[in-house]
Amino acid sequence: MSRHKLVKNLDLDDEFDTFNGGNDYDYDGEETSEAKKIKVLPLYLSSPPIQKLIVAEHMRQGTIKVREILPPTVANITDKQIQDSLWHYYYDVEKTVNYLLTTYSATDKKTSKKAVGKKAQGGLVFFGQCSDDGRRACDENFNSAGDLYSSGRTSTYCSNSSQFAPFFNDCPWFNIPADRKTVFVPPLRPRGGLLGGSSGGPPKMSKLQALAAARKKKAQEQRSSGNTGVEKPLSDLKVKDDADDDVPMAGASAEKSELPPKASSRGFPLRKRKDSNEHQKAPRAAPVPKDQPIKPPLPEDTPTVDQAQPSAFASTMFSSTSTPRQPTDNLFTLPYVANFTSTTTNPFAGPSPDDIVIAAQSKAAGKGGKGPPKTNGEKRADQIAGGVEAMKLDDTPRAKRHVDAGKSTLMGRLLYDLKVVDQRTIDRYRKEAEKMGKSSFALAWVLDQGSEERARGVTIDIATNKFETEKTSFTILDAPGHRDFIPNMIAGASQADFAVLVIDASTGSFESGLKGQTKEHALLVRSMGVQRLIIVVNKLDTVDWSEERFTEISTQVSAFLTAAGFLSKNITFIPCSGLHGDNIVRRSTEAAASWYTGPILVEELDNSQPASRALSKPFRLTIGDIFRGGVQNPLSVSGRIESGSIQMGDALLAQPSTEKCFIKAVEVDQEPVDWAVAGQNVTIHLSGIEEQYLKIGDVLCSPSNPIQNIKQFTAKVLAFEFLTPMQIDVHRGRLHTPGRIKEIVAVLDKHSGAVVGKKKPRVVKPGLVARVVVELEMAVPLEAPARVVLRSNGETVAAGLLE
Amino acid sequence: MTDRRRINGPSGGTSTPIYSSYLAKDPKDLPERPTRTRPPNVLRKMFLKTGVTPSASGSAYLELEASKIPTSNAPGLSSLSTSGLKLTCTVHGPRPLPKSAPFSPHIILTTHVKYAPFATRKRRGYLRDASERDLGVHLETALRGVIIGDRWPKSGVEVIITILEGEEDQWWGDDIGRGATSAAEWGMMSVLSGCITVASAAIADAGIDCVDVVAGGVAAVVRSGNGGKAPSPTLVLDPVPSEHKDIIAACIVGYLPARDEITDLWVKGEIGHDSQSGNSIQSSSYEELADNAVQAALGSHRVLVAALRETADVKIGRL
């Protein structure tokens, strides 16, 4: 059956019957008993008298409440009036008060002129007393544009009434009080007058216009003499306003009298125009006596400033006299009426959702407590605050002899034991390493982050990390040991203060290593200017912590190192096991290792003295890396400051491109800082330079003392291989460039530096010191006393010092 | 980058041709450089008015009177008349930052200074050039120290200044090859000073909390001798570049009188190099230059305060 039929068949009477009947029953729920029905009846019967009583009681209470709220200025309102309005508003006290205030305070003004004088105060009283709703409405009114003007009310009335919606809220549908009716104002016409004519003075009126104006004026006068009760207070107000104006407004009254009379019928006081005259009239501050005597060309007194008349342009733009500028002043939020701005119209009132979330987070974080990292940060800050001189920032590169000596593992262990790397990360690495079948590499992966490094199990590029002991903070530069990546090792060594040389103690490895990279590394490190060396004899656990093995290695290595130019007091040997962590951060617990009582690695690191820095020299930094440091910093470089200092905003010169740039921000260890000094590894965010002008190995320097680009230099080098006039690669830190040995000037004595043998030898034997002239293929920024390494065909042939 | 949304005039701009008949042979008839009629320590009269743009939170208009043309026999071309400075400034805000913006614990101040295309003798482009951006940065520096930014977290305020009529960088006569051409952008100094003052008025008009109103002032060392004798450098306040043949150095400060602080300082030019020529130049050190700029700033501060007081009077009178 379709719905239509259903509706057709519906017996309306029936339906309504049940509905009405059901009403009574449902009212009491399911158990509709006869007794209850009977109880209901008397209630119905007695309701009229009770209702009357209730009404009377409501009325009485309402009247009292309204009386309480009403300000004393409208005390002349009778009870009858209050009750009438209460009845009208269904005992809504607030609306009643609103209505009464608007109605009778307006009437009040008409009779009492004093009230007009105090109108600003009256408004304030009102705000203080009305409820929150009312205040909001009022404020909205204040803050909104001047739609109120269109309703043609007095300004006082406007300030007390509300915006459109609340405005009509209390308005009855019929019998609208006369004072709430709007007065329609004829639209403003452009000021009359004839076109053309002289530019100065008011436009001339045509005869017809003059006649019309005269008629209008007459009619106006007639009307104002028979004014209605509503309009009268308004004209009073207006006159009063004029009278209230004090000196600065004096110009306005004259202007007002010139207004066409129709303006007064608009029902609200005209907003007084600020005209140019006021500038002249504003009190001028007394000249401030000048505290400093000025040289003869300048007279003694201070400059006096006059406010000028607006130019023709300004007066045209800003002093059109006929249109009131309504909205602007309502949009202003004045600082001294803070109450007004802090209400709902203020978008910033109250904590924003973000604030709440942040507050909650900070509270939670405080509870959770992240103790250790925080104290670290504080300690770090203290150190830096201690001043440039006391700065203890040491960099340890680990130059190791042989691949798989365990450098990365040792450093990973160091970081892990010092809690720089957490257990979870290590576990993850361990799992991943097991998957690749290299479970012993897990710790090395802390520093070997690249996928190729992990796959091959060797360090390829320099990795940096930092850690802190109780005394000092360190930056690790994990340099590759493999011969294929010696340039990277040179870059690492050039940034280091001291080196940790890791030697594999396992049988056979040491011997092969000493012949291989260990020697080259030691020589390179020495020629890069690293003075101090900590030799870690690693993997001692594989030889059961044999003291003989350790002594054997120590003797051989120290003999070699002393020959290479290291002072024996600058060399320390430590036996340890990177994989197990013995003698690194904790002393070894192995019984077999109890023979060793010297300092462990961390203690030895702490003992190292910070190198002196070239703080007062001009700024130099070799770019180690160029990257995009985020959206805000499209171009960032990192590297170690070799000398000098920088701060935010400094100008820098990039060499060899000779491009100027500016420091936008400086970061040290991922923390933004204002300045940085020599010895720190910094990230500099640059501005004012394109990426094409920078490449890795370039030098940033101070523009006042720029580093020069040179194509040829003389250097004193220690030869590792036979040196002849040949093609070479010159390495200096990250910078490397092809060139050739142009000339071998002389062979020098190793210690005294005096010329030995004949001049201009054709070849230099390995192990000899020689002075050579090197010519480069292109100009690069180099200056004495830079340390350079000369390589040829993938082998280091010489290292030395620029002269 | 070119602006593709508008049909632009020629990028270089053209100036009205001056025909040789205008360039009289008789030196008496030559147009004369305007001369400074004020004493060296008197500023130009300033007209300042707030609340000129209804749609902005705060706005102000500032103008400096044009200097008088000394003789009336100058060619009657409007392009040769001297001009004053006319700036209008609007302040929008404080208003919430867009959602995409990162959290900021204080107000983000953005300044935007633009010459109207017709503001200077040489026509300006529609996009801001380097000097305009420079002015914007200086203005931001000057205002940043004044606004109490912490009261408005996560909000931004934009200060936008349009230069309706810019100060000239040099006398137009120099443009057409009369006299030395040593035009640095001296007009920028006066413009920046005006920008600071007008922006300060507009910010006060917008009701943004400030520690004080900052006023701009300019002082300069000029060499304005005429003819024979060696011109001696003098210190003047509020220099008009077209009135002086040779400006040696100029200094502009943004000054807070109530706190005796300087929020922005910009010195252009070199003094002290020819110190052997006489002790008068030596006497005008950079410090003295800055001191005098502060005096000039005090002068414009007085106008600023008077204008603000007038606005406040009007507002309170209405309430």
**CATH number for the domain including A660?**
2.40.30.10
Q: Is pLDDT of A45 > 60?
A: no
Q: Is pLDDT of B110 > 90?
A: yes
Residue A189's pLDDT band (boundaries 50, 70, 90)? low
Q: Is pLDDT of A267 > 50?
A: no
Residue A385's pLDDT band (boundaries 50, 70, 90)? very low
Give the minimum alpha-carbon distance from A175 to chain B in angstroms, rounded to a whole number. Answer: 31
Q: What is the mean pLDDT of residues A367-375?
A: 33
Residue A454's pLDDT band (boundaries 50, 70, 90)? confident
Residue B90's pLDDT band (boundaries 50, 70, 90)? very high
pLDDT of A362 reads 67
Tokens of A309: 């008349």
Tokens of A112: 């009492």
Residue among A249, A285, A305 minimizing CB distance to B300: A305
User: Is residue B272 included in any domain, yes or no?
Assistant: yes
Highest mean pLDDT among A46-55, A694-703, B8-17, B281-290: A694-703
The verdict on A598 and A743 lying in the same domain is: no
Query: Range of B108's domain?
Result: 33-70+83-318
User: Is residue A240 included in any domain, yes or no?
Assistant: no
Tell me if A313 and B63 make a contact (CB, 8 A cut-off).
yes
Give the minimum alpha-carbon distance from A331 to chain B in angstroms, rounded to a whole number. Answer: 7
Give the minimum alpha-carbon distance from B182 to chain A in angstroms, rounded to a whole number. Answer: 24
Tell me if A303 and B295 make a contact (CB, 8 A cut-off).
yes
Tokens of A241: 């306003």
Please identify among residues 126-145 of chain B the ones whose CB lies closer than 8 Å to any CB of chain A: none
The verdict on A426 and A569 lying in the same domain is: yes
Residues in B touching A358 (Cβ below 8 Å):
103
The verdict on A648 and A794 lying in the same domain is: no
User: Is residue A133 included in any domain, yes or no?
Assistant: yes
The verdict on A12 and A126 lying in the same domain is: no
Tell me if B65 and A303 make a contact (CB, 8 A cut-off).
no
Residue of A nearest to B87 (CA): A314
Angle ∠(B38,B41,B43) on CA atoms, nearest 5 = 65
Q: Of the residues A701, A734, A752, which one is the last residue of a structural domain?
A: A701
Is some CB atom of chain A closer than 8 A to the CB atom of B209? yes
Q: Is pLDDT of B144 > 50?
A: yes
Is some CB atom of chain A closer than 8 A to the CB atom of B54? yes
Query: Range of A143's domain?
Result: 38-183+310-346
Residues in B touching A294 (Cβ below 8 Å):
41, 235, 288, 292
Give the minimum alpha-carbon distance from B40 to chain A in angstroms, rounded to a whole number. Answer: 6
Residue B226's pLDDT band (boundaries 50, 70, 90)? low
CA distances from A110 to A150, A222, A437 (A): 22, 20, 100
Counting one residue from chain A and one from chain B, the pairs whose CB atoms sit within 8 A come to 157
pLDDT digits (tens, 9 = 90+) for A537-573: 888 878 888 888 888 888 888 888 887 777 777 788 8
Based on the structure, what is the number of domains in chain B? 1
User: Is residue B77 included in any domain, yes or no?
Assistant: no
Residue of A nearest to B210 (CA): A335
pLDDT of B224 reads 63
Tell me if B45 and A331 make a contact (CB, 8 A cut-off).
no
The verdict on A759 and A658 lying in the same domain is: no
* DSSP state, residue A589: -
Is some CB atom of chain A closer than 8 A to the CB atom of B212? no
Highest mean pLDDT among A2-6, A371-375, A573-577: A573-577
pLDDT digits (tens, 9 = 90+) for A603-655: 887 777 766 677 788 888 888 888 887 777 888 888 888 888 888 888 888 88
Tell me if B52 and A307 make a contact (CB, 8 A cut-off).
no
Residue among A282, A303, A333 minimizing CB distance to B306: A282
The verdict on A678 and A726 lying in the same domain is: no
**% of residues, chain A, pLDDT over 70:** 57
Is some CB atom of chain B closer than 8 A to the CB atom of A318? yes
Is some CB atom of chain A closer than 8 A to the CB atom of B84? yes
The verdict on A600 and A725 lying in the same domain is: no
DSSP one-letter string for A441-498: GTGGGGT--SHHHHHHTS--S-EEEEEE-SS-EEEEEE---SGGGHHHHHHHHHT-SE
pLDDT digits (tens, 9 = 90+) for A349-360: 666 667 777 777
The verdict on A433 and A550 lying in the same domain is: yes
User: Is residue B178 included in any domain, yes or no?
Assistant: yes
**% of residues, chain A, pLDDT over 90:** 0
Residue among B58, B237, B318 minimizing CB distance to A271: B318
Please identify among residues 214-253 of chain A the ones whose CB lies closer than 8 Å to any CB of chain B: 245, 248-249
The verdict on A511 and A532 lying in the same domain is: yes
User: Is residue B22 included in any domain, yes or no?
Assistant: no
Tell me if A285 and B302 make a contact (CB, 8 A cut-off).
yes
- Per-residue 3-state assignment (H helix, E strand, C coil) for chain B: CCCCCCCCCCCCCCCCCCCCCCCCCCHHHCCCCCCCCCCCCCCCCEEEEECCCCCCCEEEEEEECCCCCCCCCCCCCHHHCCCCEEEEEEEEEEEECCCCCCCCCCCEEEEEEEECCCCCCCCCCCCCCHHHHHHHHHHHHHHHCCECHHHCCCEEEEEEEEEEECCCCCCHHHHCCCCCCCCCCCHHHHHHHHHHHHHHHHHHHHCCCECCCCEEEEEEEEECCCCCCCCCEEEEECCCHHHCCEEEEEEEEEEECCCCEEEEEEEEECCCCCHHHCHHHHHCCHHHHHHHHHHHHHHHHHHHHHHHHHHHHHHHHHC
Residue B255's pLDDT band (boundaries 50, 70, 90)? very high
User: Is residue A222 included in any domain, yes or no?
Assistant: no
The residue that leads in pLDDT, A593 or A306, is A593
CB A503 within 8 A of CB A535: yes
Give the minimum alpha-carbon distance from A137 to chain B in angstroms, rounded to a whole number. Answer: 16
Kindly give the interhelix angle for A79-88 and A93-111, rounded to the nearest 10 degrees.
140
pLDDT of B2 reads 63
pLDDT digits (tens, 9 = 90+) for A292-314: 333 333 433 444 456 777 777 88
User: Is residue A409 included in any domain, yes or no?
Assistant: yes
Residue linked to tokens 């203690």? A603
Q: What is the mean pLDDT of residues A120-137?
A: 39
Q: Is pLDDT of A194 > 70?
A: no
CA distances from A738 to A417, A727, A731, A735 (A): 43, 8, 9, 10
Is some CB atom of chain B closer than 8 A to the CB atom of A319? no
Based on the structure, what is the number of domains in chain A? 5
Tell me if B63 and A332 make a contact (CB, 8 A cut-off).
no
Tell me if A303 and B96 make a contact (CB, 8 A cut-off).
no
Tell me if B41 and A299 make a contact (CB, 8 A cut-off).
yes
Residue among A299, A308, A325 minimizing CB distance to B39: A299
Is some CB atom of chain B closer than 8 A to the CB atom of A631? no
Residue of A nearest to B218 (CA): A303
pLDDT digits (tens, 9 = 90+) for B38-79: 888 888 889 999 989 889 999 999 998 876 655 545 454 554
Tell me if A348 and B94 make a contact (CB, 8 A cut-off).
yes
Q: How many CB atoms lie within 10 A of CB A712?
A: 13
Q: What is the mean pLDDT of residues A574-594?
A: 79
What residues pair up with B109 in beta bridges, in sequence order? B157
Residue B111's pLDDT band (boundaries 50, 70, 90)? very high
User: Is residue B314 included in any domain, yes or no?
Assistant: yes
The CATH number assigned to the domain holding B131 equals 3.30.230.70
Closest CA to A410 of A437, A440, A384: A440
What are the φ and ψ backbone dihedral angles of A644, each rounded to 5 degrees? 80, -165
Residues in A touching B317 (Cβ below 8 Å):
245, 249, 272
Please identify among residues 216-245 of chain B the ones whose CB lies closer than 8 Å to any CB of chain A: 232, 234-235, 237-238
pLDDT of B261 reads 93
Tell me if A310 and B280 make a contact (CB, 8 A cut-off).
no
Residue of A nearest to B59 (CA): A328
The verdict on A641 and A541 lying in the same domain is: no
Residue among A283, A297, A334 minimizing CB distance to B234: A297
Residue of A nearest to B293 (CA): A303
Residue A441's pLDDT band (boundaries 50, 70, 90)? confident
The verdict on A2 and A126 lying in the same domain is: no
What are the φ and ψ backbone dihedral angles of A786, each rounded to 5 degrees? -75, 145
The verdict on A330 and A450 lying in the same domain is: no
Please identify among residues 144-203 of chain B the ones whose CB lies closer than 8 Å to any CB of chain A: 152-155, 164
Residue of A nearest to B232 (CA): A297
Give the minimum alpha-carbon distance from A283 to chain B in angstroms, rounded to a whole number. Answer: 8
Residues in B touching A155 (Cβ below 8 Å):
318
Residue B147's pLDDT band (boundaries 50, 70, 90)? very high
Asked casually if ipTM beats, i.e. exceeds, 0.85, the reply is no
- Per-residue 3-state assignment (H helix, E strand, C coil) for A741-771: EEEEEEEECCCCCCEECCCCCCCECCCCEEE
Tell me if B54 and A120 make a contact (CB, 8 A cut-off).
no
Measure the CA–CA gap between B115 and A662, rounded to whole angstroms.
27
User: Is residue A545 included in any domain, yes or no?
Assistant: yes
Tell me if B317 and A249 make a contact (CB, 8 A cut-off).
yes
Residue among A141, A328, A354 with most chain B CBs within 10 A, to mutate = A328
Tell me if B209 and A335 make a contact (CB, 8 A cut-off).
yes
Residue among B205, B303, B308 with most chain A CBs within 10 A, to mutate = B303
Measure the CA–CA gap between A417 and A587, rounded to whole angstroms.
12
Is some CB atom of chain A closer than 8 A to the CB atom of B288? yes
Is some CB atom of chain A closer than 8 A to the CB atom of B94? yes
Is some CB atom of chain B closer than 8 A to the CB atom of A325? yes
Measure the CA–CA gap between A648 and A674, rounded to whole angstroms.
6
pLDDT digits (tens, 9 = 90+) for A199-248: 444 555 667 777 888 888 888 877 665 544 444 444 444 434 444 444 34
